[in-house]
Amino acid sequence: MPRAKSPKNGHTRAKQAEAMSASPVINEVNVVLTSGDLEAEIRRRAFELYMDRGCVPGHENEDWLVAEREILARNSHTNA
């Protein structure tokens, strides 16, 4: 039996359900971010760090951790 196709945007039902039930986080302009939005912001910042380094590969984990720390710190300051 053929398998059902997943959406072309890469969002499976599990990911959609997870995003809908995610706990919100407040960003610097007091807009509620879901965990999916937060992850997208971290991903964007990690890519900026990669670009700033001249697109040199091999530092993906470091970029992600730095971006995550920056974004979470920024969001925690607005919650205080």
Per-residue pLDDT of the chain (80 residues; tens, 9 = 90+): 566 555 565 555 555 555 544 545 544 444 556 778 899 999 999 999 999 999 999 999 999 999 999 999 988 876 66
Q: Is residue 37 assigned to a domain?
A: yes
Please report how many Cα atoms fall inside a 13 Å half-sphere around the Cα of residue 49, on the Cβ side.
Answer: 21
Q: Rounded to 10 degrees, what is the CA torsion of 36, 41, 44, 46? A: -100
Orientation of helix 60-79 relative to helix 35-52, angle to 10°: 130
Structural domain range at position 42: 24-79
The answer to whether residue 14 is domain-embedded is no
Domain contains 6: no
Tell me, yes or no, whether 58 lies in a domain: yes
- Number of domains observed in the structure of the chain: 1
Residue 10 covered by a domain = no
* Residue 32 covered by a domain: yes
Residue 55 CA to residue 28 CA, distance in Å, equals 28
Residue 3 lies inside a defined structural domain of this protein: no
